[in-house]
Amino acid sequence: MHYILERAIDHYLSWYFASNDPLKYEELILLIFANERISFESKRQIFTFLLKKHHDPFLIKNPNLIKDLIYIIEQRNILAHYDYDSDELTKDGLTQINFVKYKNTLDFIPIDSKKLKDLRRKIDTSLVLIADFMRNEMGIE
């Protein structure tokens, strides 16, 4: 689901920079935003800047949005890029998976069903907020 959230931000950023030119809008999506050239975190930073500069009332009304986006991206990166402790997967009664972080030391980051449900809730909530914002700002249905 995070990719739908990321695509929504892609479309808002493209609309912001090229709302009056459909060709440029499409090219921004194709060449810059909806591919691996710019990370989700970089897009979040641009989106946050624009919200703070032009839509502060929206952020005041939704104070957890930016914090939740940061959390979503951090958790997404753990799930996508970290190794997991495969020894854990063979245990009966598995309640969590430990992801392995290598950075001068070996650290384990536990992910359990509660954390996954919280992540899903944050993604769903953020997506609804951003979709509503885009409908109001961009005038789309």
Q: What is the pLDDT along the chain (141 residues), one digit of tens a residue?
A: 678 999 999 999 999 999 999 999 999 999 999 888 999 999 999 999 999 999 999 999 999 999 999 999 999 998 888 888 766 666 666 778 888 888 888 888 888 889 999 999 999 999 999 999 999 888 765
Q: What is the mean pLDDT of the chain?
A: 89
Residue 102, classed as helix, strand or coil, is strand
The residues, any chain, with a CB within 8 Å of residue 129's CB and separated by 6 or more, are 62, 65
Q: What is the pTM for the complete model shown?
A: 0.86
- pLDDT, tens digit, for every residue of 80-101? 888 887 666 666 667 788 888 8
Residue 40: CB atoms within 10 A of its CB come to 18
Check residue 68 and give its pLDDT: 97
Give the chain's domain count: 1
Distance in angstroms (rounded) separating the CA atoms of residues 66 and 122: 11
The domain of 47 spans 2-138
